[in-house]
Amino acid sequence: MQLSTKHLLGIKQLTAADISLILSTATQFKEVLQRPVKKVPSLRDVTIVNLFYENSTRTRISFELAEKRLGADTINFSASGSSVSKGETLLDTVNNILSMKVDMVVMRHSASGAPHFLSKHIPAAIINAGDGINEHPTQALLDAFSIQEKTGSLAGKKIVLVGDIMHSRVALSNIYLLNKMGAEVMVAGPPTLIPKYIEDALHVKVEYDIKKALAWCDVANVLRIQLERQNQVLFSSLREYNLAYGVSRKLLDGLKKEIVIMHPGPINRGVEIDSDVADGNQSIILQQVENGVAVRMASLYLLAGNKPD
Ligand code: CP
């Protein structure tokens, strides 16, 4: 089986069959990662550049580890410390790197649409590792993998995305993916952090009361307040945000059922989530990070077998 696409630019461009293929391939790679020898030579002789124009801990390390586990040759590029500071354009930078015979590009950029732009101008396969406030497809895939692993399936599950929906590429990719896979999706948070018309535009429920949102769901994916992407005051203070919308032990104890707690990271402890929830037994936050390696191995492997023309 093959993916219907030659680049992984967003979940929007994937079919449900593509998503199922990536998740089932990730299951096989997760099994490989449990073995004493965690490497397979599937991408031997493939060269991949990790092009990070924006900071990252999890995504960057997990892509690099996934590439090494698959036997690929990897190059890491950070905009800081590069000739970007001398005025070199994105396209010139990438064309210079590609002239050294690079096959695939993993790219994070603060500008929404940057990987889509590149895909029209270069011959290598591109994986979007997060572009501005647009999409973060491999995060949504690893979130889906983790939900499936924990609860058995995606179809019919009630998932709430809590917090800064307006500025979150993780939220948009999760919404696209969960809708395509038959889950029910709700967004919850303050009205100023939830885009107007999202209910009709993206087929999600909207809830401004955190207690009601948590009572409705099977899984809560708690999102970071993206202060670096906000250019106006959208809530009074981080303390007041925590009091009104922070996911606390008290809120979870008040529910009639046990829900699964997720967070894509990085966590702002005591803001969107309290430490005893993030570190508690309902949390699968570190399993998400672990699953990121298998999901990224699957994405790289499938795209490498589906080369751009
Ligand atoms: N979840 C996520 O994208 O984390 P990083 O920014 O650390 O990669």
Query: Is the pLDDT assigned to residue 231 strictly greater than 80?
Result: no
Quick one: 195 and 112 in the same domain? no
User: Measured in angstroms, how far is the CA atom of residue 256 from the centroid of ligand 1?
Assistant: 32
Quick one: 37 and 130 in the same domain? yes
Quick one: 143 and 175 in the same domain? yes
| Pocket of ligand 1 contains residue 57 by CB under 6 Å | yes
Quick one: 109 and 24 in the same domain? yes
Quick one: 79 and 38 in the same domain? yes
The percentage of the chain sitting over the pLDDT mark of 90, rounded to a whole number, equals: 92
> Are 126 and 119 contacting, i.e. CB atoms less than 8 angstroms apart?
yes
Quick one: 109 and 233 in the same domain? no
* CATH number for the domain harbouring residue 185: 3.40.50.1370
> Are 165 and 148 contacting, i.e. CB atoms less than 8 angstroms apart?
no
**pTM across the whole model:** 0.96
Q: Omega before 266 cis (within 30°)?
A: yes
What mean pLDDT is predicted for residues 44-62?
A: 97
What mean pLDDT is predicted for residues 149-162?
A: 98
Quick one: 130 and 230 in the same domain? no
Q: Omega before 36 cis (within 30°)?
A: no
pLDDT of residue 81: 84
Closest CA to ligand 1's atom 5: 56
Over residues 67-103, the pLDDT tens digits come to: 999 999 999 999 988 999 999 999 999 999 999 999 9
Quick one: 178 and 234 in the same domain? yes
Query: Is the pLDDT assigned to residue 229 strictly greater than 80?
Result: no
Quick one: 175 and 105 in the same domain? no
Domain residues for the domain of 20 are 11-135+289-304
pLDDT of residue 235: 77
Query: Is the pLDDT assigned to residue 207 strictly greater than 80?
Result: yes
Picking from 108, 133, 137, the residue whose alpha carbon sits closest to that of residue 49 is 108
Is 1 among the domain residues? no
Quick one: 184 and 255 in the same domain? yes
Two structure tokens written together for 79: 């905009």
Number of domains in the chain: 2
Closest CA to ligand 1's atom 7: 57
- The pick from 52, 57, 107, 268 for probing ligand 1's pocket by mutation, whose C-beta has the most ligand atoms within 8 angstroms, reads 57
Is 38 among the domain residues? yes
- Return d(Cα 300, Cα 106) in angstroms, integer: 9
For helices 58-69 and 285-304, angle between their N-to-C axes, nearest 10 degrees: 50
For the CA of 264, the nearest atom of ligand 1: 1
Choice between 227 and 176, residue whose per-residue pLDDT is larger: 176
Is 268 among the domain residues? yes
Q: Tell me phi and psi for residue 13, to 5 degrees.
A: -85, -5
Is 4 among the domain residues? no
Is 260 among the domain residues? yes
Quick one: 148 and 102 in the same domain? no
Quick one: 97 and 193 in the same domain? no
Is 275 among the domain residues? yes
- Band (pLDDT 50/70/90 cuts) for residue 155 is very high
User: Measured in angstroms, how far is the CA atom of residue 56 from the centroid of ligand 1?
Assistant: 5
Pairing type for strands 184-188 and 158-162 reads parallel
- The pick from 139, 228, 285 for probing ligand 1's pocket by mutation, whose C-beta has the most ligand atoms within 8 angstroms, reads 139
